[in-house]
Structure 1
């Protein structure tokens, strides 16, 4: 039994509208992913150009942070002089380097010639699996030190089941470090940024930091998937709603 012409016409309109909506949505999502990729590329180029600028000293870093330009300093190189404040050293747990679990060592640095203090991500140390509460041994030199590094955001956060830093009390081993809470607890005039220390292994720590990547390849991959789905919808529509409509009558006449 063949469908009535009216019902067939309504079905054709519904399928056509659905296909047009599907093509429009998937094409729009593909273009959006390409736009995100372009934004990431532009940001990556900005970071690269910043890294090529002359290194900042502590006074310039503190001045720019006070002016609210912390974000504009991201990835700038720095050469700082100051005093370590080892009594406030924090060990961020569950951090990996070269696939091994351990701690990121975070120590505040009192910048020379200023009242400002900056958190320095000094390096990575392995975990003691026999005693998870044991703090690794690291060397923290006394007196004025020179630190070479790059400006970064405060240490990234990992998911945690507890209520955050407040649930960990004054423990030196923490899952995360909230900058505002740490500033309030220590009463230190911390900058709204951190510094990732660069260089080879020293003072009991490794510094094989991962390369900063914008993740633009991910957006290209998503765009390819959306455009592929868009093309598939269009191809299926053309085949079932146009090509087969012409093939079927010819077959029926030939039979």
Structure 2
């Protein structure tokens, strides 16, 4: 058996090296995907633990990002709708049952002026569908013109999408803005106000305002990483199997057995 294996390797150097590359790449990619899944699970566990901590009150701050990040928080204040930012190219967090693909839309970022404080808290109020015929036709959303109490989870940012070039903010003109990404620091400089160093992703509390707040689970995507890992490991195994079977066929057809017998004599 050792002589047979040696013959398969030494007489097929190019095929052996190619097979080794396929196996190495497949195994490395599969292990990387498993690592991504484990990282997401660990992050989700950490987020879940932080969200079980006592609820913070934004009006009793100031809070740092380290103190408030990934924790539940309540806030009371009044929205500033004229300063809203619509983040484009955001898929619906959880697609409807039976939907083949995620619907594209907006995240509505709106500043909330905190009651009793000279500070603004940016709120991700939720998701709304985009008008496919006219991108600049914004969804109809109801915004209370009074003090409101909301609850959400604090994050460093609302998530980012790929963007060509730099996102340079223009002078504030008091009209609806459609942006690809949200820069909290740049928004503070643009408006010249004091603001919290985090955003609040509002939770669904039965508020009917035209926005969807059915956020994706914390472990969203883990199953996909496991599926990718299986595919990569399957590719590695297929590469090895192809190398082995093709070598055995070549061994029989081209008389590798002569070299094998010679080794046995």
Q: TM-score range by the shorter chain?
A: 0.7 to 0.9
User: Within 2, Cα distance between the matches of 1:223 and 1:18?
Assistant: 21
User: Within 1, Cα distance between the matches of 2:17 and 2:162?
Assistant: 43
2:66 is aligned with 1:78: no
SS of equivalent residue, structure 1 residue 209: coil
**Residue 178 of structure 1: how far off its partner (Å):** 2.6
Which residue of structure 2 aligns with residue 57 of structure 1?
A: 57
Question: Of 236, 250, 261, which aligns to 1:230?
Answer: 236
- Structure-to-structure mapping, 1:1-255, within 5 angstroms: 11-58=11-58, 62-65=62-65, 69=66, 73-74=69-70, 76-93=71-88, 95=90, 97=92, 103-112=106-115, 114-125=117-128, 132-133=136-137, 136=140, 138-143=142-147, 145-159=148-162, 164-166=167-169, 170=173, 171-176=175-180, 177-200=182-205, 202=207, 204-214=209-219, 215-242=221-248, 244-245=250-251, 249=255
Q: 1:235 to 1:123 in 2, by over 3 A?
A: closer
**Residue 246 of structure 1: how far off its partner (Å):** 5.1
User: Within 2, Cα distance between the matches of 1:131 and 1:225?
Assistant: 38
Task: Report if aligned partners of 1:86, 1:140 keep a CA contact under 8 Å in 2.
Answer: no
SS of equivalent residue, structure 2 residue 226: helix
- The TM-score with structure 2 as length reference comes to 0.72
**Residue 221 of structure 1: how far off its partner (Å):** 1.7
Structure 2 unmatched runs, 5+? 1-7, 97-101, 259-265
Aligned residues: 239
- The TM-score with structure 1 as length reference comes to 0.74
**Which of 149-158 and 161-170 deviates more?**
161-170
**Residue 148 of structure 1: how far off its partner (Å):** 1.0
Backbone CA RMSD of aligned residues: 3.6
Task: Report if aligned partners of 1:94, 1:103 keep a CA contact under 8 Å in 2.
Answer: yes
